[in-house]
Structures are given as structure tokens and as C-alpha cells.
Structure 1
Amino acid sequence: MSEWKRQLEDLVAPAVARSRYIDRIVVDRGALAQAGAVFKESFAAQRAFLVGDENTFAAAGAGLAGALEAAGIAVERLVLPASPRPKPTLALAREIQAHWQAAAAEAVPVSLGSGVITDLVKHAAFMEGRPFFCVATAASMDGYASAGAPLVEDGFKHTIPCAPPRAILADLDVIAAAPSEMTGWGYGDLAGKVPAGGDWILADALEVEPLDAVAWPLVQDRLRDWLADPAALAAGDAAATAGLFAGLTVTGLAMEFHGSSRPASGADHQIAHLWEMENLSHQGQPVSHGACVAIGSLATLGLFDWLLEQDLTLLDRDRVLAARPGPEAIEQAIRDAFPEPAVAARALTETMAKLPSRAAHAERLDHIAAVWPSLRAKLKAQLLSAAEMRRLLATAGAPSSADAIGLDPARTKATVLRARFMRRRYTVLDFLAETDLLAAASEAVFAAAPAP
């Protein structure tokens, strides 16, 4: 048995057996030919409603539809324009839901695509209380198996809880033929689990959110292996691509088991989601989620690099508490950061949910000073430096500098300073803010060129 097949059998199969929702994940070369059999084994319906865009239908639509029809499954199609790329909005998910109900309400929805298509169909199916079939076309993100759909609602991007697909099929020939930049995006999304792990270590150490004994090892135990050979990925090696897909899939399952995206998402995603909410574009195209996460990861690792050089056993609690902003100042900072009232209101709700009282803040500062030596050691064991991650991303063909996605140091810094308002999830951004170090860290990391 080849190494990538052994990895899928050893990691993915046991995780699927634990899933409440996913019955089957099929990953293989030529797997499209199995689509009819997988559909019939997983669903009782005799009709399929295929949703993709012009690119994904060109890549795999004929093979998928042919396999389904050969198995006696009637096929309806909804082909979205490929240019401009479909956006991950709640409004578009509702449009897909309406098309599906008008064309073939009894049909099983089938997503044919990568991140955006999958999330749109996932939400549409969930709103109807129906299972769906996911056919992946690229190893570009970790959301195929996740129990959530990150969508923009009223200008605010957040992960909406949704059931994962009942069955997932990934044809490695199709995935290997996807644009190489998409594999780079997947590598960038997976790379984000390194700083996300650091964020979770901080939250665990401060008793904000404990590490999950199931989800943590599922993501972190093999993460360095999945990231270890970016050159093979860039060369289109089938085994490396299968390993990347396995890592992304297992990460999605870990999110389901934990009940949130914490195992896969920290400050890196908070930063990335802000750029996505702002419709960040470069060279006339929207910047992908994985590309945003790659640069968000570099920014976060840069902050960690700076933090690990500090001696927080000498933290001046009284000075930090004296500089603590009050609720009115925080609210004003949020309104200044987010001019759109609906977005500011959501950010205010998220921020206030994690804001400690003054007494709790004082206790937390004392705790940080006491545990800093052991906490710093744990973080050093978890993290890669920003420089090392930049090298890996560049080798994999992923964006490795902010200017690669159309950003300069000033905009990167501004995003970092307001990203903590995006989620109630505790990250290094909150840690730095609560120790009154966020401004100094941001200035040190983002004032000089090149930006992370």
C-alpha cells in the first residue's frame, strides 16, 4: 500500500467512523467513476442537483454527471459564472437554495468545487434539513468536512454552524489538474494551523478555553509532516497532494468533533476574514481564502516571534491596569475600525463577550507572569518562525509576502490592530492587548519592510 493510501486509511477512516454526519470519504485516482456507487450507497433519492461554476464543471462536470447517470441517477445542473468568482455570501447561498427547490426539491444537492461552492451548498442543504454530497475539485481549503460555512452576512463574515456533507469524493487526477495556485492556497490554509495552535495554547494556559484531547492531536500530531515537503506539492506530486488533502480533511473533521473552528482557526483567520469582508482583490481578481490565511499566518507568527523575545515575568501589572481602556473607549475604537454600523455592532458583541472584568484582568496578569517560562517553552515547541513559514509558503507556491496579495505594511498593520474585534475567540491579539503590548508588537513587526 502506498504511503498516501496508508495515511488516509490510518487517519481519515477512523475519524469518519467517529463523525456524526459523514458516512464516506473516497479519495483516489479516478474516483469520479465511483460517484454513482457512492451516491446510491449514501442517499435514497434518485435525482441529483449539481452546483458548481463554469470552471469546476469544465474540470469534472461531465465525468461526475456521466457517472451518476450511468448509475440511474437523474441530474439537474446549476452552473454559476466563473468570472467574477462566486462570493461566499449568505445571499448567494439562499439563491442556490431557491434554484434547487424550484428545479428539483427532492434531489440531493451536490457541490462540485472547492471552498466557496462547498460552503454555499452546505448552507443551502442545512437550511432545508437535507444531507448533501461533496465532490472536491482542489486541495485548496479545509472546509470540505467541517461543520460550518464561513459566509458574509450583512458585511460581516462569520462561520455559520451547518452539517458537513454525508459523503465526500475527491478524484486525485482532478485535484492534481487544478491550477497550481489552488494547491498553494490549500497549503496556506493548512499552514494557519501552526499559529492557530499557538493561540489555543495561550487560551488553555489562561483557562479561557482548554485544549481538546481529541481535536488537538488530530490536527497537530501530523501537521509538521503535512507541511514538510512543499516542493513536491509545487511539482504536482500525487502523493504529496493526497497528503495535503488528508490533512485538510482531518482538520475539517476535528472542527466537527470540537463543535467549533477553534482547532483550525485563530488570529490568522481573523485577519484573513477582514480582508475577505473588504473584498480584497489583486490584479483584478478576488484574493482567495487560503491566500489571505497564508499572509494572516505570517503576520501572526511575526507577532509570536516578537512576543517570545519578551520577559513577561517582569510584567508590571499596575501599569497595565492603569492603561486598560474602559468599555466606552473600546466601543469607540470598534466604531472607528468598522464604519458600517451593522459590522460594528457584531464586532462589539463579539468583543464584549471576551472582555475580562478589571479583577479578572488583574488575576490574569499575575498568572501570565507566573507561568511565562513554561508557557513560552510550549509556544516555542509549537510554532515556526515567520521567516521559516515564509520559506515554506514560497516553496509551495503560496503567497509569501503581503505585497503578493496587494497589501502594504500600513494596511497589514491596520488590519492586525482591529482583527481581535472580529471574534470572541481568544488569540495572541487579545494576549498582547491585555498585556498592553499590541501596539509595540505591531510597530516592531510591521513598520519595517518587507511586511509579513
Structure 2
Amino acid sequence: MPGNAPVGGWTTLIDDIVAGKWTNPETGERATVPYESIVIGESLQGREADLVAGLELGERYTIVADAQTFDAMGARVEKALKSLGAVDTVILDHPHADMAAVHDLTEKLARSEAVIAVGSGTINDLCKFVTGRTNRRYAVFGTAASMNGYTSTTASITLENGLKVSLPSHAPSGFFIDLGVTAAAPAYLSAAGFADCLVRSVAQVDWWMSHRLLGTLYSTVPYIIQEDDERELNRRAAGIATGDIAANGYLHRVLALCGLGISFTGMSNHGSMGEHQVSHYIDCFARDKHPGTLHGQQVGVATLSMARLQRIFLDSETPPQIRPSRIVPQAMARRMGAEVAAQCYQEIQPKIFDARGAAEINEKLATLWPVLRAELNAFALPVAEMEQLLRDAGGPMTAADLGLPVEIYREALIYSREMRNRYSFLDIAADTGMLEDFAGGEA
């Protein structure tokens, strides 16, 4: 094993979790996750057929890819699988992970037995969701380290009304990564995946704060399983921009372990809080002003904004003082459309505080703040360090870098908290009355 890989290889720890040999420290019981095989190697050349055959998915295979991912690895997988049986290939034309594409792919795969996705975010989400709805197992050969959804049990899908949501789905039976392929992918894809990992600091701050103030579920397990690899990945951030194999190997490990975390918690909060809401808002409501950037690229910029916002509060010895929430359904409808606004308004009811609710939060803050502040500071990476890491990885740093009009980005900072019932420092900032001023300083 090359010296840059972890002791035990690129799937050390992952293998134990998948095999049920790892003990969950919160429960004292052996972990169980819904995966059969996760393989990350510096090359999978010549192993493709054996990897798929071991899953016993069926005797007729359907490969799903787009033109780029078929060229990157799909043709190779197609050729290899022909040694196992009949192979059909579905090439999607510039697909989007929305319900129209779901319906289209459902028809294309109606008679398919063994589905093999070859691609990254969109291809994986579509195959995962379609096979999950029809109770069929699938496998995926990843072609880029662009997101952490390969090993998650949710699929990110845009509904007919335009709202992008994480829908319950199922895990791939097999997840296979050829690091030579993914490291050679366009660097911006790996930088987007790196940004999805950089999230950990701000998401953990938001999630623990929510747990302490609102009593929402919190788990340390997703952080425990990835903390060593996060450090190794951050040390290699510059290698993400240059296509370094080891940097991409650690990137895939962190992405995979983050996805596995959902198997322990049933939710994605450990890696998706305020910063992801900002990106979701851009995807849903930027409309014709959307620059076509990846979710992870937007998340990276929002992560830096969240780090700066959290720092304002964590640098203060005085606890925040919130006021009753000012969320106006009619204004939401003007921004989002009536149907989406109604759905979101129902979703966020638990975090809309009247005078009594605000007083209760303020009482908790007055009591907890010295301890809570210390707890949150222990999770937070310095803002300057996060900026340098993202810069080294080659990720966009600002709305201007994304090609997104700054007014749209500021709108997302102010109003994205209205989309989901995840309590973050965006909510604290809004209810203290300072979020708009903060957003006005972000570019």
C-alpha cells in the first residue's frame, strides 16, 4: 500500500463499519449500516466485473451515466460487465435531479434488473431515488469527489414546485471509487467536495447550539468516525487543486464517512445546517440569475459566511438576546411562490418564537452562555484557517467568484432560514435583529 494511504488502506475503518465490526461508542453496540461493499482504490482497472458480480444484483445490467461520466468511466464499466451478461446503457442528456428526471428515468429503467450508476451527484441521486422507490438494489461507480451523497440514505431532489429537498431513499449496495479517475476529474468538482467537508466546523456549532437550546437530537458519532481523516484532508488541501491522488483519497474517505453518519442518526444535520440552507435557497430561488454553480461550491462560500457570523456571537461574553420571530407568510409567498411558502412555513413552525418562547430562549442563554460559548468554540475552526483551506483547494470564496449577483447571495443569507426546521445561528442572528446588517457586509 502506498505510503500516502492510511494504515490498513483507503477503506480502513469503513470496512469495519460495513462489516458490523465497529462498536458505536454511544450505544456500546456493534454498528450496522445498509451497505454491502465500499471499495476505494488507487486503481480499479480490471476489477469492475468482480466488484459488481459479488453483489449479485441480477443477470441483466443497465448502466446509467451522462456523456461526461460515460467517457470518464462508463465505457470501461460497460465493457467489463459484458463478461457477466447482457448490458444496456442509458445516457442522460445534461440531467438535473428533479422530479421530471425521476419520472423519465423510472420509465427508462422499468424493465431493468441490476442498475449501475456511473457518475457523481445528479446521476447517483437519480439512480438512488428511482431504485429506492421501486425496491431494487443498485451500485455506483463514482467519477468525482464532488459531494458526500454517495453513502447517504437520502437523495437530494427538486420537487415539481421548485423546492429542493432531501428525500428518504436507500443506500447503494456497492460504492466503488477509482482514485485515478476521480483525481483526474475537473478540479472544481473536487473543490466542491472539499467545501462539503469544510462544513463540519460550522454545522457542528449550529447543531450543538440547537441541541442545547431546543433539545434537538445530537450525536457525536458522525464526528468521531471522520475526525482523524478531516485533519489529514485539511493538511492536503492544496493537493485537491492539483489532482493529487492522496488528497483525493482522504477527500473520498471524509465524504464517505460523512455519508455513513446518516446511518447512525437518520438525519444529515452533522454536515448540513445553516450553510446548506443558504445553498438550497440559491438553487431554488436564484432562477435565471443562477450561475450554474455546484451545490458544494455554493456551500463553501456560505460556510465562510456562517463562520464569520458565528464568530460575532462566540467572541462576545454577553449572551445573545432574541426577540419574537418576524417571519411574514405573505412576504415568504412573494419570494418563494404561494405553494412553496406554505410548505416551508409549516415546516419551520417549531422555530418561530412568540414573546413567551423568546423569553424562554433568553433565559436559557443567560444561564448557559458561558459554558455553551466554550463548548461551541471547541468545535470551531478559525475563520482565517477555513478561508485559507478553501483557497488552497481552489474553491470559490465569494458570491462574485460564483458568478452570483451579490443581492441574491445576501437575500439567501437573510431568508434561507425560512426553508427548513433546522435551528442555526442564522435564526439567532435574525431574531436578535442583526442578520440583515451582517448580510449587507457579505460579498
TM-score of the two chains, using structure 2 as the length reference: 0.91
Name the aligned partner's letter for residue 335 of structure 2. A
Quote how far apart the aligned CAs of 1:43 are: 2.0
Name the aligned partner's letter for residue 103 of structure 2. R
Secondary structure of 1:263 counterpart: helix
Quote how far apart the aligned CAs of 1:19 are: 4.2
2:169 to 149, 162, 172: 162
1:15 to 17, 38, 52: 17
Aligned-partner Cα distance in 1 for 2:231–2:62? 38
Alignment check: 8 A CA contact 2:11 2:40 kept: no
Whether 1:242 and 2:249 are equivalent positions in the alignment is yes
Whether 1:94 and 2:103 are equivalent positions in the alignment is yes
2:397 to 391, 395, 400: 400
Aligned-partner Cα distance in 1 for 2:162–2:415? 16
- Uncovered stretches (5+) of structure 1, i.e. residues with no partner: none
Aligned-partner Cα distance in 2 for 1:19–1:77? 33
Whether 1:263 and 2:270 are equivalent positions in the alignment is yes
Aligned-partner Cα distance in 1 for 2:230–2:347? 29
Mapping of 1:275-424 within 5 angstroms? 275-278=282-285, 286-313=292-319, 320-321=322-323, 324-325=324-325, 330-338=328-336, 340-356=337-353, 358-424=355-421
Secondary structure of 1:310 counterpart: coil
- Which residue of structure 1 aligns with residue 24 of structure 2? none
- Which residue of structure 2 aligns with residue 117 of structure 1? 123
Whether 1:447 and 2:430 are equivalent positions in the alignment is no
Mapping of 1:124-273 within 5 angstroms? 124-153=130-159, 154-220=161-227, 222-273=229-280
2:75 to 57, 62, 69: 62
Quote how far apart the aligned CAs of 1:355 are: 2.7
Alignment check: 8 A CA contact 2:63 2:89 kept: yes
Aligned-partner Cα distance in 1 for 2:402–2:122? 19
Name the aligned partner's letter for residue 429 of structure 2. L
Q: Which moved more, 1:189-198 or 1:425-434?
A: 425-434
Alignment check: 8 A CA contact 2:10 2:41 kept: no
Secondary structure of 2:372 counterpart: helix
Quote how far apart the aligned CAs of 1:49 are: 1.0
Alignment check: 8 A CA contact 1:19 1:253 kept: no
Quote how far apart the aligned CAs of 1:214 are: 2.2
- Uncovered stretches (5+) of structure 2, i.e. residues with no partner: 20-30
Aligned-partner Cα distance in 2 for 1:244–1:353? 35
Deviation string 1:103-159 (CA, Å, 9 cap, x unpaired) is: x33x21111100111001100000101111011000110000001001100200000
TM-score of the two chains, using structure 1 as the length reference: 0.89
2:64 to 39, 51, 63: 51
Aligned-partner Cα distance in 2 for 1:229–1:377? 29
Aligned-partner Cα distance in 1 for 2:390–2:352? 34
Deviation string 1:183-239 (CA, Å, 9 cap, x unpaired) is: 111111111222111111211221432321422322445433322321122222111
Aligned-partner Cα distance in 1 for 2:81–2:189? 26
Displacement over 6 Å in runs of 4+ = none
Aligned CA distance change for structure 1 residues 341 and 423 (closer, same or farther; 3 Å): same
Secondary structure of 2:95 counterpart: coil
Aligned-partner Cα distance in 2 for 1:427–1:232? 32
Name the aligned partner's letter for residue 215 of structure 1. P
Alignment check: 8 A CA contact 1:50 1:111 kept: yes
The structure whose residues are more often helix, as a share, is 1
Aligned-partner Cα distance in 2 for 1:325–1:398? 34
Aligned-partner Cα distance in 1 for 2:288–2:386? 23
